[in-house]
Amino acid sequence: MKSRLCIPIFLICISNCYGGFERVEGGARAICFGGAFVGLADDGWAIFYNPAGLAQLRLAELGFFYSPQPFGLSELKSFSLTGVYPTSLGSFATSVRSFGFSLYREFSASLAFAREFSGICVGMNFNYQSVSITNYGSAGTIGIDAGALVLVFKNLRWGIAARNINAPTIGQSAERLPQFFASGISYEPMDALHLVFDYQKEIGFAPSPRFGFEYWIIDEIAVLGGVADEPSTYAAGLGIRYVFFQMNYAFTMHQTLGLTHQASITLRLM
């Protein structure tokens, strides 16, 4: 009986923080931007936002993201791993993500490819997504994401991305997974400053505008911040980089669930 009561309560919580394969976010740096990363997408976490951005990378990357107790709830635990390998043909990438706990768990694994054509980057993800619920069984499906990124001017990029463009369904009830469409820009008024803005739309729901910034105080330390609407969230954090190593820390204030913390590490292989 207790497990049957836990699941409905848990589902109410995740409806407020991107469970159910909702807006999948990874990497504390992008979270600091309020999730506005479609028009920048300049590291391995682009696989979750705009796969086209992977074509910008010139070094192989490994990334790890962990959030052990979001909003004080261990049931919302999540972690992600990413890997990117640039080649002369384009950039190949993969990721895995786990969300939830023993009674309700989501798992996804992705393969991505991105390539640049005359200043225009294009990319695509193939995602296996599964969910398991105690006493209710498990199911899986495959979704496809796509994106493009254009260098409009030397310091201005424009990106577009779409999630689950093949309209996948999951389970015996053929529940359709969320479909998202997003457009974003990134502007670099100076070498140490990034400004980003995204406009995201899920079919059937209100649009979600997002804005963020990143300012490198010195070469090794940056401050970041961002805001998002639908739902209303505020984020801030720090970035630390040294040679091949980068670490980002983010804390986010959610209008309903309160404050939480996330961290990610990225290793660039020389």
| Stretch 17-26: mean pLDDT | 58
Q: How far apart are CA 123 and CA 54, in angstroms?
A: 7
Number of residues written out for the chain: 270
Contact 261, 67 (CB under 8 A): yes
Q: What is the pLDDT of residue 212?
A: 98
Contact 223, 246 (CB under 8 A): no
Q: What is the pLDDT of residue 6?
A: 46
Q: What is the pLDDT of residue 259?
A: 86
Region 2-269: CATH code: 2.40.160.60
Determine which of 25-29, 152-156, 185-189 has the lowest per-residue pLDDT on average.
25-29
pTM of the complete model: 0.89
Q: How far apart are CA 268 and CA 270, in angstroms?
A: 6
Q: Which amino acid is at 69?
A: Q
Contact 210, 200 (CB under 8 A): yes
- Dig out the tokens for 109 from the structure: 């694994």
Q: What is the pLDDT of residue 15?
A: 45
Parallel, antiparallel or unpaired: strands 208-218 and 221-228: antiparallel
Contact 46, 37 (CB under 8 A): yes
pLDDT tens, residue by residue, 210-261 = 999 999 999 999 999 999 998 889 999 999 999 999 999 999 988 887 888 8
Partners of residue 96 on adjacent β-strands: 81, 109
Determine which of 25-34, 79-88, 111-120 has the lowest per-residue pLDDT on average.
25-34
Q: Is 114 exposed, middle or buried (0-12, 13-18, 19+ CB in 10 A)?
A: buried
| Stretch 261-268: mean pLDDT | 94
Q: Does residue 107 register a pLDDT over 80? A: yes
